[in-house]
């Protein structure tokens, strides 16, 4: 049975690797990882604004609001730029994609409706942040990809202004991008006008209604997270980088849900979502492998696992599990297949129920920094109950889930050592 499963996944591996290496999925992954900086900064700014407001430090709260407005509430702008920037180099060698990123940013803004603010007798045009924040994420991704492909097409078909030999490269590059910028920008203007004639009013509203909201309803459910987590761990078990294959698909959905929670938290409203990217990262911290390391350190009788426990304990406290995964090993080790594949899912289900019942607070959506130690990693969410949840998962639930399987593996390792 084990051999049949291994052979099946060996045949499937090339296809899954191709999916993981797909240029569009890699582009989404790269862009979403790069916006983690602004998201983390904005998350802390939201927390700062809320706590400053509680102590009536209004000027300080206002300063925090400026930071969150230009980081979290402008996240779609960064994504529109980064998607185009990262996609173009896959098609044009030597082009870093910056020009396409600028054109994509321009296009996104052209497609974004202007609002009007009345200041006395003056009417001021302004861009509402509605479509620049979480509601505009999928629109920004689509704009970035379409602009990048249009830019590549024009470049490859020489829709450029070529300057004479001797013109400085910087000037020559500027002129070579004029036609793509003008054509794409003009087309965006026409599209924007046509959408004003529809019931949607603008492109972003259409994308949000037809694509983002349905995807959130499907991919943002607890059932989707359970399925994704099981599939991710199953791929890891067979030596396939599950994170690279799955994350680009679900990361935009889960991250947009976190941004919705942050916006609600800042406004003093109930948090709308239980699950999200922050929930997933805190609950599945270290792949719940710390429990296995603790068993190696305190329960193991075999010298092999005792030594591995000593080596792996410090990295594991900081969520670094490579010594455990490859030292045990967990990949293709059927003695540990069940806990390795299912432990994260069990932790997610228990955590979801604890939040649903009201024992644990909902996650504010603050994106934490990888490499922080146990407890502090969860503490970024600003709730004691979330810290307790992570400690219980890692120090109680995880060892219990690993114990039966570890006990069997440790017994086999001890027998091997005695026979040797």
Query: Do 244 and 387 reside in the same domain of the chain?
Result: yes
- Which pair of tokens denotes residue 369? 């920094």
Would you give per-residue pLDDT tens digits along the chain (420 residues)?
A: 566 656 665 666 677 667 767 899 889 989 988 998 898 898 889 888 888 888 888 899 899 999 988 998 899 999 999 999 999 999 999 888 999 999 999 999 999 998 777 766 777 777 888 899 888 999 999 999 999 999 999 999 888 777 666 666 666 666 778 889 999 999 999 999 999 999 999 999 999 999 888 888 888 899 999 999 999 998 888 877 777 778 888 888 999 899 999 989 988 899 999 999 999 999 998 888 999 999 999 999 999 999 999 999 999 998 888 888 888 888 888 889 999 999 999 999 999 999 999 999 999 998 877 778 888 888 888 889 999 999 999 999 999 999 999 999 999 989 988 887
**Rg of the chain in Å (alpha carbons):** 25
Query: Do 279 and 403 reside in the same domain of the chain?
Result: yes
- Which pair of tokens denotes residue 122? 């003056």
Q: Quickly tell me which residue has 């180099």 as its tokens.
A: 89
Q: Which of 218, 253, 271 is the last residue of a domain?
A: 218
3-state secondary structure of 119: strand
Is 33 part of a structural domain of the chain? no
> Is the Cα torsion angle 317, 320, 325, 326 positive or negative in sign?
negative
- Which pair of tokens denotes residue 53? 């407001």
DSSP letter string, 184-241: HHHHHHHHHHHHHTSSS-SHHHHHIIIIIHHHHHHHTSHHHHHHHHHHHHHHHHTT--
The tens digit of pLDDT for each residue in 335-378 reads: 899 999 999 999 999 999 999 999 999 999 988 777 788 888 88
Query: Do 279 and 407 reside in the same domain of the chain?
Result: yes
Is 163 part of a structural domain of the chain? yes
Query: Do 6 and 141 reside in the same domain of the chain?
Result: no
Task: Identify which of 313, 299, 324 has the alpha carbon closest to the alpha carbon of residue 414.
Answer: 299
Q: Quickly tell me which residue has 């998350």 as its tokens.
A: 43
Query: Do 203 and 231 reside in the same domain of the chain?
Result: no
Q: Specify the pTM.
A: 0.83
Domain range spanning residue 159? 71-218
Query: Do 232 and 320 reside in the same domain of the chain?
Result: yes
Residue 73 and residue 66: Cα distance in Å, rounded?
10
Q: Exposure of 99 by Cβ count < 10 A (0-12 exposed, 13-18 middle, 19+ buried)?
A: buried
Query: Do 161 and 101 reside in the same domain of the chain?
Result: yes
Q: Which of 161, 195, 218 is the last residue of a domain?
A: 218
Query: Do 162 and 212 reside in the same domain of the chain?
Result: yes
Is 61 part of a structural domain of the chain? no
Is 52 part of a structural domain of the chain? no
Query: Do 240 and 262 reside in the same domain of the chain?
Result: yes
Q: Exposure of 420 by Cβ count < 10 A (0-12 exposed, 13-18 middle, 19+ buried)?
A: exposed
Is 63 part of a structural domain of the chain? no
Query: Do 224 and 201 reside in the same domain of the chain?
Result: no
**Secondary structure string (H, E, C) spanning 293-314:** HHHHHHCCCCHHHHHHHHHHHH
Domain count, the chain: 2
Q: Which of 218, 242, 261 is the last residue of a domain?
A: 218
Query: Do 260 and 401 reside in the same domain of the chain?
Result: yes
The tens digit of pLDDT for each residue in 36-48 reads: 889 889 888 988 8
Query: Do 241 and 326 reside in the same domain of the chain?
Result: yes
pLDDT at 22: 84
> Are the C-beta atoms of residues 64 and 43 closer than 8 Å to each other?
no
């Amino acid at each position: 049975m084990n051999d049949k499963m291994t052979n099946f996944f060996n045949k499937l591996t090339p296809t899954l690797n191709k999916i993981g290496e797909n240029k569009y999925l890699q582009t989404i992954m790269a862009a979403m990882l790069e916006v983690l900086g602004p998201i983390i900064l904005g998350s802390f700014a939201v927390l700062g604004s809320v706590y400053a407001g509680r102590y009536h430090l209004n000027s300080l709260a206002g300063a925090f609001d400026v930071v969150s407005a230009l980081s979290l509430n402008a996240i779609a702008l960064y994504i529109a730029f980064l998607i185009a920037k990262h996609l173009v180099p896959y098609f044009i060698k030597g082009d870093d994609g910056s020009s396409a990123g600028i054109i994509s940013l321009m296009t996104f803004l052209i497609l974004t409706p202007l609002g009007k603010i009345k200041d006395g007798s003056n009417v001021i045009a302004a861009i509402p942040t509605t479509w620049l924040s979480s509601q505009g994420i999928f629109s920004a991704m689509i704009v970035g990809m379409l602009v990048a492909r249009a830019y590549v097409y024009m470049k490859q078909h020489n829709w450029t202004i070529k300057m004479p030999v001797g013109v400085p490269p910087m000037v020559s590059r500027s002129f070579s991008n004029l036609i793509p910028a003008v054509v794409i920008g003009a087309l965006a203007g026409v599209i924007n006008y046509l959408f004003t004639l529809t019931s949607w009013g603008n492109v972003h509203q259409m994308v949000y209604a037809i694509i983002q909201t349905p995807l959130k309803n499907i991919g943002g459910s607890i059932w989707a997270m359970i399925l994704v987590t099981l599939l991710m761990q199953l791929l890891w078990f067979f030596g396939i980088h599950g994170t690279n294959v799955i994350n680009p698909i679900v990361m935009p959905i889960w991250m947009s849900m976190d941004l919705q929670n942050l916006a609600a938290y800042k406004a003093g409203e109930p948090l709308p979502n239980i699950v999200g990217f922050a929930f997933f990262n805190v609950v599945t911290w270290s792949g719940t492998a710390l429990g296995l390391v603790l068993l190696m350190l305190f329960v193991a009788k075999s010298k092999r696992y005792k030594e591995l426990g000593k080596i792996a304990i410090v990295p594991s406290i900081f969520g670094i599990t490579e010594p455990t995964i490859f030292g045990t090993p967990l990949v293709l080790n059927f003695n540990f297949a069940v806990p390795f594949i299912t432990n994260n899912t069990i932790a997610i289900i228990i955590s979801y129920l604890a939040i649903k019942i009201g024992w644990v607070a909902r996650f504010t959506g603050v994106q934490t920094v990888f490499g922080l130690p146990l407890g502090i990693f969860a503490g970024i969410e600003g709730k004691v109950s979330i810290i307790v949840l992570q400690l219980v998962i890692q120090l109680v639930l995880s060892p219990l889930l690993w114990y039966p399987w570890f006990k069997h593996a440790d017994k086999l390792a001890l027998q091997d050592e005695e026979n040797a």
